[in-house]
Structure 1
Amino acid sequence: MDAGGSLSTSNQTQPRHPLHEQPLHRRNSRQNLDRFIPNRSAMDFDFARYMLMEARKGKENPVLSSPSKEAYRKHLAEALNMNRTRILAFKDKPSTVDLMFPETSSCVNQPKSVKPRRNIPQTSERTLDAPGLVDDYYLNLLDWGSSNVLAIALGHTVYLWDATNASTSEVTTIDDENGPITSVSWAPDGRHIAIGLNNSEVQLWDTTANRQLRTLRGGHRSRVGSLQWNNHILTTGGMDGLIINNDVRIRSHISDTYKGHHREVCGLKWSASGKQLASGGNDNLLYIWDRSMASSNSPTQWLHKLEDHTAAVKAVAWCPFQGNLLASGGGEGDRCIKFWNTHTGACLNSIDTGSQVCALLWSKLERELLSSHGFTQNQLTLWKYPSMVKMAELTGHTSRVLFMAQSPDGCTVASAAGDERLRFWNVFGNPEASKPAPKIIREPFANFNRIR
């Protein structure tokens, strides 16, 4: 395959290696320079209006011109520096004295205390081959752990890519009877990983020791397509519509069961506080569950049942700077990103993106939201919140961008698509210098070795 993701004639018979890096093809700096964009801040709109109106007056009333009026016009033009021919400006405006308010002229060109706009690269920084990636909207096959290692499921095998040294390793390969792999999720410690299977089971692995610790059984009746950790609780979502909290520290691991969805659960996200869970399903429903309301005796006690989407809800993301703000994205028949107040259940805003919303990620550094999409552009779109103005559109994938994962420092986003390519984008800028290192939580998994 070439860097664009399409099959080339010379490479069709060559073997494809998982997570093999593809060569970068930079755009020519002279491409796409087909137009000038005026600098509005450097334009003199008063002058422009004067020139346009004078030209119009001269054409409409040529007989009304008189020597006195002509002398006045020349004097005014000299005073206001209007003996110019250009109306549009394409460079910074030079310093001028404010003739209307000369006492304030010293402040006219003082620099404003605005944050400089950062450069957002329009091409991916790195591209890896991902042969065998299952093109299934309802699965979750990509995750980036706190130890800076990316996990991706390709068919029946889970691979790890270490971002610190670009090394690749294999966790496990599942046999045909139990596979393929339908979901992966790193535990908070960045060492243990959960692997959801097509046969309804979930395996827990220690990636440092490279060994399986236990298998969670008996909760689901069909494939487990979504996984989400909440400290020592592993929440699983299945094609059977069930959501199950599994306490991995104890032998009888099922602690809570949430029943609301009547089709496959494809999106799961815990809030930063660990008190609320958002779940999206193939039934077009979005639920908000409160941990304090969960009980095995009352499994249907959701906090909010949200029915505004008109297609499957896979993309769900909690806002990092406002605890009760949730973003959700709808599938091909919906195409909308919606924002919710999870305390009241109110829909705060809805944006029609024009294409299937596959995944959502909030920036940890700025008030920005990144979305990935399907047909027709298969792009990633960066939005400014709350105005929802598009800041950038990142293209390169040739099929729908099903999965996204964010690096621990919040800068880089990895995207995986149906074109069997894994791309890395430096979309969120540079991390804060004073940002503390992520906390490593190891104690909840101390009992793994004693549980089978």
Structure 2
Amino acid sequence: MACCSQVPASERTAYSRFKSSIKRKLAARARVASSPIVTRWQQLHARRGAEALCRACCVTDLCATGVPQPTRTPGKAPVIPLVPKKLSMKTVVTLLNNHAAAGLEGRNNRRDEMEKKQKCQEKLLLFQEVGYSIAESGDMKVCENINCVWKGCREETQNEFRAVTVMKPSIPLVPEVRFHITGLRNDYYLNILDWSPENLIAIAVGPAAHIWNGGTLQAFESIDLNSSSKYISSLAWIEEGTCLAIGTSDGEVQLWDIETKKRLRNMFGHLSVVGALSWNHYILSSGSRLGSIHHHDVRVPQHHVGTFCQNKQSICSLKWSLTNQLLASGSSDGILNIWPNDPGVKLQSYPLKTIPHPSAVKAVNWCPWQSKVLATGGGMKDGILRVWDINCEKIIQSAATDSQICSLLWLPKTTELMTGQGLPGNQMKIWKYPMLIRSSELYGHKGRVLHIALSPHQSRLFSVAADGIACLWKCHESGENKHSSKAFSNGYLSSFL
């Protein structure tokens, strides 16, 4: 107290005034998160950093980092509740040059830009996980199989970067050979193209079937019904040997030995057009426009050993599975049936599975490496490519093709699916399996692509469209004749024109 008496009265401060001043100062300053004891300079530093952050990125009541906008009162400092700063995830999918990176860093707290970036990165990473590659190009990395465009800076800046599509299709976009077949029938429900395990190609043109060597593409043989009133509506090669089965428009099924150039037998039983054929070793299954499926054992005189009766609608597709345990049949009324391997059944038999579709099921094919997986293509009112797990009747994946699916096959070397499409594009689309991501499109036809076939070496593809245009596509290098295109154009091509 003696010391206090020496201080002038004008400079003395009452204890109550000193206490209230301290309370006001403390109330005007916020606490620092995760720090129970802090100094005044720490509080001021944290407050200035939060104010600068909010001035830079606040667009509404909340800024991009989740910090509320400061509440300002005249004469008082703003009260800013601080929160820990969130760490942002970085990606290696796209790299910017130094100038672009500097421009992006100053604006990376804008909500709309961060959302665009996050969506793009998620999409790129998704494709990368299913096997798509990333290739470097200049100052950025380019995703090779995805269409994706997003901006990392504001509209008025030039710092824009893209992830662009760089297609590397398994099949060239231009056919190796393109020619015209005179007299080809424009009928969606026929199956008149097949490529045999012995590398023989057969295609039906009216009452005749033309056959040539798939390696040299030289004319091999022609089969003619010698009739002006009927035509070949389906054909299928036996799995072993050179026997060709032919279905006709009057319900007859014929067997031809191509090597001896002789007709082996005629098999009757159908009363209408035989639009689909499929082999199960020496059992030949045939489907007609009246909805019945007959099984023929070609080794015995009494060939007709069983019948499946699907319905009264046309059978437009038949496919035995690769293990020959299941038969898939599609009809014009949109019914897909799965039948057991029991050729001796009678009319009252029922399918194991019945799967309805919105329209005709003509494009049907079993997966070569998964025995219980089946792909189907919908008709004009549907246009959906579906891959089924037949065991549980569930769709593994599906994709909208936006047009009629006329034909379908698997590409085992690249684990892809190919579909032959109708209007408006009349193209062939290639889909990555199992995601069913469209990887490329092949244009070479002016009509719907009714039939496609793959060579036994999976090195060439043959496609035929409704306008009579046929295309030969080269898929992979193989041991087949490298001069086959020249031999084909100089040889058998003239007989079609």
Confirm or deny a common fold (TM above 0.5). yes
Paired residue for 1:247? Answer: 297
Match of 2:281 among 214, 231, 234: 231
Paired residue for 1:99? Answer: none
Measured after TM superposition, the shift of residue 207 of structure 1 is 0.5
Match of 1:256 among 283, 303, 306: 306
CA distance in 2, matches of 1:46, 1:386: 39
Match of 1:209 among 240, 245, 260: 260
Paired residue for 1:445? Answer: none
Query: Does the C-alpha gap of structure 1 residues 216 and 90 become closer, same or farther in structure 2, counting only changes over 3 Å?
Result: same
Q: Is the 8 A contact 1:143 1:405 kept in 2?
A: yes
Paired residue for 2:466? Answer: 418
CA distance in 2, matches of 1:260, 1:432: 43
Q: Which aligned pairs between 1:260-339 and structure 2 lie closer than 5 A?
A: 260-292=310-342, 295-297=344-346, 299-307=348-356, 309-339=357-387
Paired residue for 2:483? Answer: none
CA distance in 1, matches of 2:315, 2:455: 25
Q: Is the 8 A contact 1:42 1:91 kept in 2?
A: no
Identity %: 35
Match of 1:342 among 373, 390, 402: 390
Match of 1:125 among 176, 179, 203: 176
Report SS of the residue matched to 1:365. Answer: helix
Greater shift, 127-136 or 322-331, is seen at 127-136
Paired residue for 2:64? Answer: none
Match of 1:50 among 102, 116, 124: 102
Q: Is the 8 A contact 1:260 1:300 kept in 2?
A: no
Measured after TM superposition, the shift of residue 46 of structure 1 is 8.5
CA distance in 2, matches of 1:333, 1:153: 28
Measured after TM superposition, the shift of residue 165 of structure 1 is 2.0
CA distance in 1, matches of 2:278, 2:436: 28
CA distance in 2, matches of 1:55, 1:387: 35
Instruction: Name which structure has the greater RCO, CA cutoff 8 Å, separation 6+.
Output: 1
Measured after TM superposition, the shift of residue 171 of structure 1 is 2.6
Measured after TM superposition, the shift of residue 222 of structure 1 is 0.4
Measured after TM superposition, the shift of residue 122 of structure 1 is 0.4
Query: Does the C-alpha gap of structure 1 residues 432 and 340 become closer, same or farther in structure 2, counting only changes over 3 Å?
Result: farther
Measured after TM superposition, the shift of residue 339 of structure 1 is 1.4
Greater shift, 333-342 or 167-176, is seen at 167-176
Report SS of the residue matched to 2:369. Answer: coil
Paired residue for 1:441? Answer: none
Deviations 1:119-148 (A, max 9, x none): 531011112331111000000010001111
Give the count of matched residue pairs.
338
Match of 1:378 among 404, 410, 426: 426
Query: Does the C-alpha gap of structure 1 residues 347 and 42 become closer, same or farther in structure 2, counting only changes over 3 Å?
Result: closer
Query: Does the C-alpha gap of structure 1 residues 120 and 49 become closer, same or farther in structure 2, counting only changes over 3 Å?
Result: same
Measured after TM superposition, the shift of residue 169 of structure 1 is 3.9
Paired residue for 2:272? Answer: 222
Deviations 1:346-367 (A, max 9, x none): 2233221100001111112121
Deviations 1:259-312 (A, max 9, x none): 1232110111110000100000101110011114x54346432110101x2111
Q: Is the 8 A contact 2:309 2:347 kept in 1?
A: no
Q: Which aligned pairs between 1:72-91 and structure 2 lie closer than 5 A?
A: 90-91=137-138
Kindly indicate whether residue 246 of structure 2 is the aligned counterpart of residue 195 of structure 1: yes
In the alignment, structure 2 segments of 5+ residues that lack a partner are 1-91, 110-135, 142-166, 481-497
CA distance in 2, matches of 1:92, 1:422: 44
Measured after TM superposition, the shift of residue 55 of structure 1 is 8.0
Q: Is the 8 A contact 2:97 2:140 kept in 1?
A: no
Kindly indicate whether residue 204 of structure 2 is the aligned counterpart of residue 153 of structure 1: yes
Q: Is the 8 A contact 2:247 2:274 kept in 1?
A: yes
CA distance in 1, matches of 2:140, 2:384: 41
Q: Is the 8 A contact 1:367 1:384 kept in 2?
A: yes
Paired residue for 1:166? Answer: 217
Deviations 1:342-396 (A, max 9, x none): 1122223322110000111111212110111010110001100111111110001
Deviations 1:320-359 (A, max 9, x none): 1111100000111110111111112222332211000011
Q: Is the 8 A contact 1:157 1:170 kept in 2?
A: no
Q: Is the 8 A contact 1:262 1:283 kept in 2?
A: no
Measured after TM superposition, the shift of residue 431 of structure 1 is 6.1
Match of 2:236 among 171, 177, 185: 185
Structure ranking higher in helix proportion: 2
Q: Is the 8 A contact 1:261 1:285 kept in 2?
A: no
Q: Is the 8 A contact 2:169 2:440 kept in 1?
A: no
Counterpart amino acid of residue 127 in structure 1 = R
Deviations 1:178-231 (A, max 9, x none): 5111011111124110111011001110111111110011x2110101111111
Measured after TM superposition, the shift of residue 425 of structure 1 is 1.4
Query: Does the C-alpha gap of structure 1 residues 118 and 56 become closer, same or farther in structure 2, counting only changes over 3 Å?
Result: closer
- Cα RMSD after superposing both structures: 2.5
Query: Does the C-alpha gap of structure 1 residues 329 and 119 become closer, same or farther in structure 2, counting only changes over 3 Å?
Result: closer
CA distance in 1, matches of 2:138, 2:108: 27
Q: Is the 8 A contact 1:356 1:374 kept in 2?
A: yes
Report SS of the residue matched to 2:375. Answer: strand
Measured after TM superposition, the shift of residue 49 of structure 1 is 4.8
Q: Is the 8 A contact 1:183 1:197 kept in 2?
A: yes
Greater shift, 42-51 or 232-241, is seen at 42-51
Query: Does the C-alpha gap of structure 1 residues 164 and 367 become closer, same or farther in structure 2, counting only changes over 3 Å?
Result: closer
Q: Is the 8 A contact 2:322 2:371 kept in 1?
A: yes
TM-score by length of 2: 0.64
Paired residue for 1:175? Answer: 226
Moved over 6 A (4+): none
Deviations 1:228-267 (A, max 9, x none): 1111011101001001111000011111211123211011
CA distance in 1, matches of 2:347, 2:227: 37
Q: Is the 8 A contact 2:409 2:417 kept in 1?
A: yes
In the alignment, structure 1 segments of 5+ residues that lack a partner are 1-39, 58-88, 95-115, 434-452
Report SS of the residue matched to 1:50. Answer: helix
Kindly indicate whether residue 448 of structure 2 is the aligned counterpart of residue 400 of structure 1: yes
Counterpart amino acid of residue 302 in structure 1 = P
Q: Is the 8 A contact 2:380 2:404 kept in 1?
A: yes
